[in-house]
Amino acid sequence: MTKKLRTLYNWFDIQRDYIIKGHENEWVLIVPFEVLGYFPNQRSAADKADQMGLKVGNFLAQMCITSEQEINGFYNSNIEMVLHND
């Protein structure tokens, strides 16, 4: 993850409760310290970024889930990977 993306994600994480309220399970498009909009899926968020001329690495498309859901999803996907590779 680039420094810019890490900064965008950290800002999202700090503002997470405010950003996701009323938008649970949607995707949010973020540029430095600003929410550009909410979308039903990652593809439509990325398409909007492309339409706006945003370059990869200069925006963040993030699913609107709680930090607990994010941690559980990451943990579960890693467990599944380990189980399927044995």
Mean pLDDT on 17-46: 97
Nearest-angstrom CA–CA distance, 76 and 17: 23
The arrangement of strands across the sheet holding 60-63 comes to 34-39, 27-31, 60-63
| pLDDT per position as a tens digit, 51-82 | 999 999 999 999 999 988 887 655 444 444 44
Q: List, as one string, the DSSP characters of 28-56.
A: EEEETTEEEEEESSHHHHHHHHHHTTPPT
Q: What is the pLDDT of residue 70?
A: 85
| pLDDT per position as a tens digit, 14-23 | 999 999 999 9
Structural domain span for residue 40: 3-85
Mean pLDDT on 12-32: 96
- For the chain, the domain total comes to 1
Which tokens belong to 20? 């996701």
Which tokens belong to 12? 């999202």
Q: What is the pLDDT of residue 84?
A: 54
